[in-house]
C-alpha cells in the first residue's frame, strides 16, 4: 500500500490515478486546505476504485502518529506532495512556509523511521536551481539560492531526506518538477487554483473562459527570443507517470544510490508568448493580453536536461504542449459547467 500525502491536490490526484491504474492500493492523507473532497469521487469515476482517505494535517505530529498507528506495517512506500506552494505567499509568510513544508517533511520522515517504511518519493522543484547560468539544467547543475522561501523549503527538504537516507533503512528519490500544466483527458480532475491564479496556464484558461478580462504578461524585456520568460511546461499526466516509474525503481533490484534526484520536464523551453499562441492554435479561442511590468522573483529562463530520468526511470515526457493546453481548456470548460 502506498501513502500519498496531498493526494487530493493537482499533481497528487493525477498520480493517485496512475498508481491505482497500475494496481497499487492507495491511501491519501490530505487536509483539504487547497483541494476538495469531491476529487475522491472523480478519482473513483476514472479508476472505478476509491482510495482510502484520512483528513489530516501532515504538519500535526499527533494526527500523523494516530493515522500511521492505524495503517501499521501495511505501508510500503510514501509519496509526499503535501506542502504549500504559492511563491508570492511564501515571501510574505516565510515562517508559515518553513513550519508547514519543512515541519511536515520531518513528521513524515519520522513515521518512516517508526514504521520501517523504506521507500520515499519527494515532490521537489526546479526552483532549487534559481536562475541557472546555463540551460538545459542537469541534476548536477549547482543549486542556487532560491528566489523564494517556498523554493528554499524544497532545497532544505532535499537535504533532510538525503541525510536520513544515510542513517536509516530508507531509499528515496526527489523529483524536481518543472512547470506542471494540463489535466486528465477525462476532464474530471485538474488544477483548481484558489482565487486569482498565480500560474500562467490557469490564468490563460480563465481568460479564455471570460472569467478574467485579459492576461497580463509579466514583462517582455527579458533576454529571450521574444522578450518573455522561458519555462519547461510538462503535462501533469507525464509528471504523474514519473512518480510511478520512481516507485518502480525503488521497488526494483537495479543498483541505485540510497538517495537520487531527477529532473522531470520535457527538455523543451517555451516562452510565455509561445504558450499563449499555442493555446489559441490548439483551441481556436482568443486570449486577450497586455504587457505588464516584470513580476518580482521571476527568473528569465529554465528548462531541463532529462537524460538521467529517461535512462534510470525509463520515463520520458510523451505529451505535447498542445496536448496539455487542450486538456487544460477541456478541464476549464468541464469544471465550470459542473460548477454551474
Which residue has 484520512 as its cell numbers?
54
Helix residue spans in 1-117 (DSSP H): 10-21, 38-47, 61-71, 87-92, 94-97, 103-115
Strand 259-264 versus strand 2-5 pairing type: unpaired
Please tell me the distance from the alpha carbon of residue 182 to that of residue 189, in angstroms, as a whole number: 10
Smallest gap from residue 265 Cβ to ligand WQD (A)? 10
The angle at the Cα of 248, spanning 245 to 249, to the nearest 5 degrees, equals: 90
Catalytic residue among 150, 222, 233, 262: 150
Give the nearer residue to ligand WQD in terms of CB position, either 129 or 335.
Answer: 129
Give the nearer residue to ligand WQD in terms of CB position, either 111 or 125.
Answer: 125
Give the nearer residue to ligand WQD in terms of CB position, either 118 or 228.
Answer: 228
Contact 269, 232 (CB under 8 A): yes
Smallest gap from residue 218 Cβ to ligand WQD (A)? 4
- If DSSP codes are grouped into helix, strand and coil, which group holds residue 289? strand
Q: Is 24 a catalytic residue?
A: no
Please tell me the distance from the alpha carbon of residue 170 to that of residue 250, in angstroms, as a whole number: 10
Contact 88, 297 (CB under 8 A): yes
Which residues form the interface with ligand WQD (CB under 6 A)? 85, 87, 125, 127, 177, 179, 198-200, 203, 215-218, 229, 231, 272, 295, 298
Smallest gap from residue 174 Cβ to ligand WQD (A)? 12
Give the nearer residue to ligand WQD in terms of CB position, either 3 or 87.
Answer: 87
Smallest gap from residue 338 Cβ to ligand WQD (A)? 24
Active site residues: 150
Amino acid at each position: 500500500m502506498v501513502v500519498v500525502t496531498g493526494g487530493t491536490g493537482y499533481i497528487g490526484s493525477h498520480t493517485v490515478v496512475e498508481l491505482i491504474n497500475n494496481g497499487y492500493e492507495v491511501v491519501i492523507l490530505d487536509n483539504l486546505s487547497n483541494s476538495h473532497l469531491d476529487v475522491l469521487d472523480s478519482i473513483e469515476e476514472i479508476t472505478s476504485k476509491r482510495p482510502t482517505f484520512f483528513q489530516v494535517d501532515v504538519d500535526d505530529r499527533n494526527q500523523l502518529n494516530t493515522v500511521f498507528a492505524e495503517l501499521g506495517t501495511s505501508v510500503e512506500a510514501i509519496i509526499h506532495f503535501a506542502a504549500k506552494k504559492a511563491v508570492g505567499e511564501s515571501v510574505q509568510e516565510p515562517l508559515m512556509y518553513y513550519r508547514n513544508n519543512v515541519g511536515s517533511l520531518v513528521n513524515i520522515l519520522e513515521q518512516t523511521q517508526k514504521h520501517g517504511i523504506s521507500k520515499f518519493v519527494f515532490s521537489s522543484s526546479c526552483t532549487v536551481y534559481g536562475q541557472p547560468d546555463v540551460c538545459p539544467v542537469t541534476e548536477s547543475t549547482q543549486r542556487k539560492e532560491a528566489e523564494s522561501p517556498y523554493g528554499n523549503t524544497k532545497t532544505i527538504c532535499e537535504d533532510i531526506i538525503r541525510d536520513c537516507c544515510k542513517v536509516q533503512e530508507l531509499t528515496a528519490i526527489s523529483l524536481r518538477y518543472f512547470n506542471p500544466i494540463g489535466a486528465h483527458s477525462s476532464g474530471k480532475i485538474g488544477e483548481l487554483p484558489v482565487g486569482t491564479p498565480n500560474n500562467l496556464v490557469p490564468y490563460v484558461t480563465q481568460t479564455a473562459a471570460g472569467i478574467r478580462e485579459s492576461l497580463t504578461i509579466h514583462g517582455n524585456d527579458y533576454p529571450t527570443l521574444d522578450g518573455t520568460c522561458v519555462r519547461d511546461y510538462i503535462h501533469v499526466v507525464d509528471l504523474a507517470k514519473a512518480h510511478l516509474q520512481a516507485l518502480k525503481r525503488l521497488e526494483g533490484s537495479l543498483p541505485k544510490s540510497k538517495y537520487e534526484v531527477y529532473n522531470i520536464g520535457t527538455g523543451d523551453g517555451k516562452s510565455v508568448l509561445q504558450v499563449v499562441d499555442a493555446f489559441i492554435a490548439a483551441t481556436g479561442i482568443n486570449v486577450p493580453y497586455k504587457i505588464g511590468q516584470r513580476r518580482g522573483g521571476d527568473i528569465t529562463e529554465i528548462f531541463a536536461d532529462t537524460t538521467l530520468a529517461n535512462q534510470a526511470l525509463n520515463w520520458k515526457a510523451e505529451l505535447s504542449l498542445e496536448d496539455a493546453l487542450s486538456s487544460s481548456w477541456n478541464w476549464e470548460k468541464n469544471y465550470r459547467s459542473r460548477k454551474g
